[in-house]
Amino acid sequence: MPQDPAPRIGANTVTLLGQVYSLLGFRIVDGVVGAGFPQKPSHSAVFAQIGSDGSRLSTLARGAGMTAQAMGEIVDELEELGYVERRPDPTDRRAKLIVLTPRGQDCIAAGRATIDGIEERLDELLGVDGHTELRRVLTTVLTAEQ
C-alpha cells in the first residue's frame, strides 16, 4: 500500500488540498482493506459513484474523468475480486450495467464505516464547530465553481 504523502509545510492551498485528498483516499482504502476487502485506490473510481441499481461503463468513465477503456480495466479487476458483475441493461439489451454484488455492497459498507471514523477524527482534531466550518468553506468553494 502506498504511504501517506508527507505534508509540505507552507505549501499553497491547492497543494494542501491535494495532499489532504490523497491522505484521506489512502486512509479509506487502508480501512476497507483492513476490513477484509482487498482493493487499490483506483477502484474508488467505481465505488464512489456506482448507482444502487448499477451504472453503465460509459457513465462511470465520464464521472471519473477517464476513458471507457481505462474504466473497463478497473471494472475487470473488480469483477475478478467479486465486487461487481456485468448484467444486461433492462432499458437497452445491447448495453451492460455494472452492478454491485453482495460482496461489493459489503465493501462499500466498510468504506462508509471508515469514512465515519475519519469524520469522528476530524471532530477530535478541529472540534465539532471547526469541522462544521471546514465543511461550510469546502461547500462554498465547490458550489462557486460549478
pLDDT digits (tens, 9 = 90+) for 74-133: 999 999 999 999 999 999 888 999 999 999 999 999 999 999 999 999 999 999 999 999
| pLDDT band, very low/low/confident/very high, at 4 (cuts 50, 70, 90) | low
Residue 65, pLDDT score: 94
Q: How many CB atoms lie within 10 A of CB 20?
A: 12
Report yes or no on 20 lying in a domain.
no
In terms of residue numbers, what domain contains 80? 44-139
Report yes or no on 15 lying in a domain.
no
Report yes or no on 1 lying in a domain.
no
Number of domains in the chain: 1
How far apart are the C-alpha atoms of 91 and 132, rounded to whole Å? 42
Report yes or no on 50 lying in a domain.
yes
Report yes or no on 6 lying in a domain.
no
Report yes or no on 48 lying in a domain.
yes
Reported as half-sphere exposure (CB side, CA atoms, 13 A), residue 31 has a value of: 20
Report yes or no on 144 lying in a domain.
no
The CATH number that applies at residue 118 is 1.10.10.10
Residue 11, pLDDT score: 81
Report yes or no on 37 lying in a domain.
no
Residue 76, pLDDT score: 98
Residue 72, pLDDT score: 97
**Stated pTM of the model:** 0.83
List 98's β-bridge partners, or say none.
Answer: 55, 86
Residue 3, pLDDT score: 56
- Angle of helix 68-80 relative to helix 57-64, nearest 10 degrees? 110
Residue 145, pLDDT score: 76
| pLDDT band, very low/low/confident/very high, at 7 (cuts 50, 70, 90) | low
Residue 47 has pLDDT above 90, yes or no: yes
